[in-house]
A and B are shown apart, each in its own frame.
Chain A
Amino acid sequence: RKEVEQDPGPFNVPEGATVAFNCTYSNSASQSFFWYRQDCRKEPKLLMSVYSSGNEDGRFTAQLNRASQYISLLIRDSKLSDSATYLCVVNRDSYDKVIFGPGTSLSVIP
């Protein structure tokens, strides 16, 4: 089993839609969780950290379920500019060794 797994893509959604991405991780000792965004031919950039109580940043909501080892990202009112690959990232141990999931591709269509 891979350390971090994500929904297979691509997701093609119309503007204004709500879309949810799921991610599971295998190491129950993982401590930190993130969502990164990667545009085509660009470097990954942090979208948001994921906190135990869940957190929201504008149209983006992240949830963490430690018991199920599951992370989610919800995007409301999708914009064309949201088109990108979304990477689920897990910090595997205290030496900050982050493991990236394979990513889920999102295309928001006019």
Chain B
Amino acid sequence: DTAVSQTPKYLVTQMGNDKSIKCEQNLGHDTMYWYKQDSKKFLKIMFSYNNKELIINETVPNRFSPKSPDKAHLNLHINSLELGDSAVYFCASSHLVPTTTNEKLFFGSGTQLSVL
């Protein structure tokens, strides 16, 4: 029944490793996002996909590669993990109707990534 689900909930790994976080939404939304929340709790957008197409890429290092096999899934792959990548990563989704405002975001429960 979970609307936006992401796995894993916790991810502990060594520097230099490659890891993936998966996200799925069953709300029928057109748009999915990845947000990063760092230790200072600041929530920053990383990517946004609309119907499998990238529409927002916020100057994230190219070690981060989002992949959307269909509009219900948006996975995040991270290569060569660095200490500074440690954060909580939130997946989210929303309807995208460019002429309509007040469309809210639905968030997954987050993935706590710790790079050692």
| Residues of chain A contacted by B45 (CB below 8 angstroms) | 97-100
Interface size on B, residues (CB 8 A): 26
Contact of A32 among B56, B96, B102 (CB under 8 A): B102
Interface size on A, residues (CB 8 A): 24
Structural contact, B98 and A95, CB atoms closer than 8 A: yes
Instruction: Give Cα A4 to B1, complex, Å.
Output: 33
- How near does chain A come to B37, taking the closest CB pair, in angstroms? 9
| Residues of chain A contacted by B109 (CB below 8 angstroms) | 42-43
| Residues of chain B contacted by A31 (CB below 8 angstroms) | 101
From known contacts A34-B104, A46-B105, infer whether A95 and B48 are also in contact, taking CB-CB under 8 Å.
yes
Contact of A91 among B40, B41, B48, B101 (CB under 8 A): B101
Contact of A95 among B40, B44, B55 (CB under 8 A): B55
Interface residues in B72-96 (C-beta closer than 8 Å to A): 90, 94, 96
Task: Fill in one digit per residue for A45-60: 1 if any B CB lies within 8 Å of its CB, else 0.
Answer: 1100101000000000
From known contacts A85-B41, A98-B45, infer whether A44 and B101 are also in contact, taking CB-CB under 8 Å.
no
| Residues of chain A contacted by B48 (CB below 8 angstroms) | 95-97
Q: Tell me the B residues contacting A by CB distance below 8 Å.
A: 31, 35, 40-45, 48, 50, 55-56, 90, 94, 96, 98-99, 101-105, 107-110
